[in-house]
A and B are shown apart, each in its own frame.
Chain A
Amino acid sequence: MNTRQDSKDAGSTEQDFLPCLDRRRFLVVGGAGAVTILLGELFPGRVFAQDERRRASVATYPRRKVGSLRDLELHKPVTFYYPYDEPHCSSMLVRLGTAAGGGVGPGQDIVAFSQMCTHQGGLLEGQYQSEYRVLGPCPLHLSTFDLTRHGMIVAAHATENLPQIVLELEGDNIYATGVLGLIYGYSDNRAGH
């Protein structure tokens, strides 16, 4: 099973990081589907052996460039929108400086997550805590998520992991290819399609 869905229309300019309603139609062109796969396949060589058999349901979307190795600074999160250019899809790309589940890059430390708190939809933008590699506390009710552990809740109220954006590295380019978990607000990640 392969999660990668090569897409002819994958954006690759800096503009892709910004919400741009005019570009939405362009970005969602192409197929989207959901597959259930093992973590070991989803993140080959990027999870501990004992975690490889864990299953995950991942929606795949048009592959899209979200950053580059060269430009991504340690502990400097970059906001992008994925899989759609709409507020619920606010996501962040960050280099943690320590290996993380599903991380890409030479240090396996580059990860991306939804920035919508899975408790009540609080926006987690700007809440990255570099010392602990967590996102949060959420400004609404203080939920906090561990970015080294697939967005697992550290403390508080959220009832799902923070959806992890599946990343792939091709040369210097970092691509988003899927979403692990339901994004806050949606009943179906593919509904925005």
Chain B
Amino acid sequence: MADQYVPTDRIPLPPPDAKVYTTACDYCIVGCGYKAYVWPDGKEGGPRAHENALGINFPVPTLSGRWVSPNQHNFCLVNGKKHHVIVKPDADATVVNRGGNHSIRGGCIAQKVYNPDGPTRDRLQRPLLRVRGKLVPVSWDVALGIMADVSKHVLKNHGEAAWGMKTYSYQYFENTYAISKLAFESIQTPAYAPHDKPGPGNDTAGVDDAGIVTFSASNEDWELADVIFISGTDPFETKTVLFTDWMLKGHPNKIIMALPRKSGGAVYAERNGGLFLPVIPGSDAILHLALIRLILENGWEDKEFIEKWIANRWEIDSGFGRGTRNTPWQWRTTWGKLGASYEEYRKWILSYPLAELSKATEMTGIPAEKIRAAAEMIAKPVGGKRPKTSFAFEKGNYWSNNYLNTSSYAVLGLMCGAGNRPGQVISRLGGHQRGWYGAASYPRMFSPQKFPGRRKQEIDLDRWVESGNLRFAYVIGTTWVQAMAASHELADSLRRLTRGNKHQITSLDVSKAARTLKDRVDDGGMVIVHQDIYLRKPIAGEFADLVLPASTWGECDLTRCNGERRLRLYSKFCDPPGEAQPDWWIISQFAQKMGFKDYDWKDSNDVFEKAARSGRKGVLNYHPLVVYAKRLGMRAHELLREMGTRGIQTPVRYRSRITEPRDYQEYVGYYVDPRTSGGIVGTKRLHDHDTDFGDPEGPTVHQKWLSAFKTQSGKALLNKTPWELFSDFYERIQPKGDELWVTNGRINEIWQSLFDDARKPYIMQRWPDNWLEIHPDDAKARGIESGDRVRVESGDVLIQTGGFVGVDGDDLSYTGLKKAGHIRIGKGAFEAVAMVTDAVRSGVVWTNFLYVGVDIGSTANSLVHRVPDPMTNRYRFKLAKGRVHKIGESPYKHSFEKMTFAPRTIKGTVT
């Protein structure tokens, strides 16, 4: 956007009668509590406490949580009239962001608000139909009519699997319930993929296989830990307040980070008694094995915990640990290939050559003394006392070598006695918030994919598209192309199937338009409908025939959970732009045109209450809240609104008498109303054997994972991780000659594809372009200086083309696929601004994972191989390679205004 960052020296304060709404941040998993202050234009509060709605005298003191920075103010529309809006962290918060702390993302979230006179003026406002290549406004009725007409045609003539959806998995329960109801219950299509992966299913299968629910911890656990081992993420950069308000508040704790790049948090860890383990991309599992072996060799494992909580051979065999019929990856967990008792695991690893320290040092690139120091720190008893160690992980871990990394990481944590106790947890730290509420299960039995053996596998939607099997795609709230692997090749396929087809709409005549699109799908082409808040390119800007305007955060009452399963109401406080509607509403209108039943929802509360029944067995179960609200004659949303930014941690439990201690209740959230019996209370930690949850009463459901691990026996499972399951692919993708590893990640200032950030001039002065961190030696060899514009390219991007069905054991391994002719070679490239730094090791460059902005952006994922982990169908986003060369100087090399090249790794100690 052309809008510039203009530092200003005053902000309007909310008058005492400003309307105050509670909400939470729309962005990262931490989900800090926020308040929106809204009041009509033409009015202002004053700097005295009684003159403003913040109730404080200005200037406010340090850490007051009540300062309003200019980026926290905006204008919005309320019933079509211009209003001031201030969105700021909740200074009264006692959980999550206690006292009103915030990240730069949430701190600037007021700039997300639709303001017709500001940078968000380009929000989508009306449904658009592509006629003669141009998007022209049409009514909702026309847009959804064409969509339903073509959909019926596709379903009738090409089958359910030809009609697909690619959507976010996180953007509020009401919306995802509608998405899953449409896809899995009404259409029953297997052609579905969430925003960040080729198909549905488990993100971190190895941890799940161990019986650990990946969001089992509470923020408090990170504060209680003595040592925190963090794999594949830096929460300082990505889960800000979790790091600054919880991990750092527990100090003097020690933090260990295993990352390929020295980030700010890693430097902090090193300077404050912890460690940074600079792992070579893709080698994490080897590091985990070496650590486990050192721990076992020294007898530092938690024997008492293992005795009590690790499944023995009989417990593994009695239903393969997770139940005979409940193991989707039969070939993985049966036949004794991976599952092991403690004794069996011990025997395996002590004789496994790749777990030897010297071998691990060679493969991970981490000095032996650092690995040894890490093993000591996490497991060696000090003065007869074991350290309380917790294990955190995220995408750097599971988006490189998905199964082996997650599985070996679970074993590492379990050997240290972590997984089910305060301050001793194994948990994902998360990316997006937990906003998926499934109305029905994915219809795996209809999937075209199958593992060797008899188990079906979820679809790889990208491969399904490229094979010409998808004729209709309903895409919601995701930058499908750039977000997926080998993205240039994917773009080429989508372009060929849509714009490349001869059947293009040439007139606004509705029946003719629908006829044209039907002709296209019958001709082997594809129709795309993209529903979003901005016109995303190229998916909507170039490929879609219909573009539908969605409303978003702040424009409709919505709900979801954060990373500690904390459910809150995200209040509506302003108008959506034009005719934009919430996603659940658009789906309901479309579904009714399709003739599907039970979509006649009155409002978002209606969806929320109906959805509750689908989640009763799940970790995010809030059904008792809905039942309790009904007893009180309240709408469930209203009861949740009363719980403010504290909300309630799921699973929500009804108790006739709440016996949990007061501080537990204050943390997890509770609601008791004397007008009816009992009350509802939240749940702090899962697998929690030490908390008395009482008997399940009324609508309360107690699942095994509430107080034990999620396995047949309630005990955790150890799984061996033979490197051979990964080594053929890993060897093939090693950088050769002057190629470098191209890995990627995230930073504080940027949220995902920059769809909002691109409209925040403050953020865009900092990051006007993508960047590439490169080691001084690699830079020098290529004549590159900080501020130079560089191109990163690869003509060796591996793409899986077939292999939907496995028959024999190794059919889907990389070697098997290659042998069967299912691997083709494509190419990719992206440009960025060089930042020369020793934060990355020589041989490795690092870039932002999805720098998109308002245009196509810098497509770093175009270099990522599109060969998913055959065991789990997950891409290895972090393991690309490419050649880097200078193409000139960027304008930022000579600007004081935009971009800084100062290192991000300057860190001290918090006081």
Contact = CB atoms under 8 A, between A and B. Distances in A.
Interface of A: 34, 36, 39, 47-48, 50-51, 54-59, 86, 88, 100-102, 116, 118-123, 127, 129, 132-134, 136-137, 139-142, 144, 146, 148-150, 152-161, 163-164, 179-192
A-B interface, 8 closest residue pairs, ranked by CB to CB distance from nearest: A101-B896, A185-B59, A121-B62, A181-B7, A188-B10, A159-B107, A146-B900, A51-B897
B70 to A, nearest CB: 6
Contact of B7 (A56, A140, A144): A56
B766 interface: yes
Nearest to A36: B6
A50 B895 contact: yes
Contact of A88 (B59, B101, B240, B891): B59
A153 B104 contact: yes
Interface residues of B, number: 57
B890 to A, nearest CB: 12
Given A150-B897, A152-B900, A140 B63 contact: yes
B67 A184 contact: yes
Contacts, number: 193
Contacts of A136: 906
B902 A182 contact: no
Interface of B: 4-11, 13, 47, 58-65, 67-72, 101-104, 107-108, 236-237, 240, 244, 264, 268, 747-749, 762, 765-766, 891, 894-897, 900, 902-904, 906-911
Given A141-B244, A154-B906, A181 B9 contact: yes
Given A121-B60, A181-B7, 19 more contacts: A48-B896, A51-B896, A56-B6, A86-B59, A102-B896, A118-B69, A120-B65, A120-B67, A121-B61, A136-B906, A139-B911, A144-B902, A152-B765, A158-B104, A159-B69, A181-B9, A182-B69, A191-B47, A192-B59
Nearest to B64: A121
Contact of B907 (A47, A142, A188, A191): A142
Given A51-B896, A185-B59, A137 B908 contact: yes
Contacts of A56: 6-7
A140 B897 contact: no
A122 to B, nearest CB: 6
B4 A54 contact: yes
A183 B9 CA distance: 7
A28 B271 CA distance: 44
B89 to A, nearest CB: 10
B53 to A, nearest CB: 12
Q: Which of B244, B896, B902, B908 has the most CB of A within 10 A?
A: B896
A180 B8 CA distance: 7
B8 A157 contact: no
A146 B899 CA distance: 10
Contact of A137 (B13, B64, B906): B906
A125 to B, nearest CB: 12
A49 to B, nearest CB: 9
Given A50-B891, A141-B910, A187 B104 contact: no
Contact of A163 (B7, B240, B765): B7
B911 A47 contact: no
B47 A157 contact: no
B62 A132 contact: no
A148 to B, nearest CB: 6
Contact of A182 (B11, B244, B910): B11
B61 A187 contact: no
Given A188-B9, A188-B10, A47 B896 contact: yes
Contacts of B766: 152-153
B247 to A, nearest CB: 12
Contacts of B108: 159
11 contacts: A54-B6, A56-B6, A86-B59, A116-B62, A119-B102, A122-B62, A123-B62, A144-B902, A155-B264, A184-B62, A189-B9
A34 B9 contact: yes
B246 to A, nearest CB: 12
A59 B11 CA distance: 13
Q: Which of A55, A142, A159, A180 has the most CB of B within 10 A?
A: A159
A48 B908 CA distance: 32
B7 A156 contact: no
A161 B107 contact: no
A192 B59 CA distance: 8
B815 to A, nearest CB: 43
Contacts of A158: 104, 107
Nearest to A131: B906
A155 B910 contact: no
A139 to B, nearest CB: 4
Contacts of B63: 120-121, 140
A179 B910 CA distance: 28
B10 A34 contact: yes
B900 A190 contact: no
Contacts of A182: 7-11, 69-70
B240 A157 contact: yes
A193 B103 CA distance: 31
B47 A139 contact: no
B562 to A, nearest CB: 18
A154 B897 contact: no
Nearest to B240: A157
B119 to A, nearest CB: 14
B70 A160 contact: yes
A156 B108 CA distance: 13
A154 B901 CA distance: 8
A169 B72 CA distance: 35
Given A155-B264, A156-B748, A185-B58, A57 B9 contact: yes
A137 B907 contact: yes
B276 to A, nearest CB: 16
B896 A149 contact: yes
A133 B901 CA distance: 11
Contact of B902 (A59, A116, A132, A160): A132
Q: Which of A54, A102, A164 has the most CB of B within 10 A?
A: A54
A122 B765 CA distance: 23
A159 B762 contact: yes
A92 to B, nearest CB: 17
Contacts of A186: 10, 58-59
Nearest to A120: B63
Contact of A160 (B65, B69, B236): B69
Contacts of B894: 48, 50
A187 B58 contact: yes
Contacts of B268: 142
Q: Which of B59, B63, B264, B268 has the most CB of A within 10 A?
A: B59
A39 B6 CA distance: 10
A38 to B, nearest CB: 11
A127 B908 contact: yes
A190 B59 CA distance: 11
Contacts of A191: 47, 58-59
A187 B11 contact: yes
A144 B264 CA distance: 11
A101 B747 CA distance: 25
Contacts of A102: 896
A140 B102 CA distance: 12
Nearest to A103: B896
Contact of B67 (A121, A155, A156, A188): A121
A184 B104 CA distance: 15
Contacts of B101: 120, 141
B771 to A, nearest CB: 13
B455 to A, nearest CB: 45
Contacts of B891: 50
Nearest to B903: A132
Given A149-B897, A153-B766, A157-B104, A185 B61 contact: yes
Given A50-B891, A155-B748, A139 B908 contact: yes
A180 B65 CA distance: 23
B78 to A, nearest CB: 22
A180 B10 CA distance: 11
Q: Which of A54, A157, A187 has the most CB of B within 10 A?
A: A187
Given A149-B897, A150-B897, A159-B762, A142 B908 contact: yes
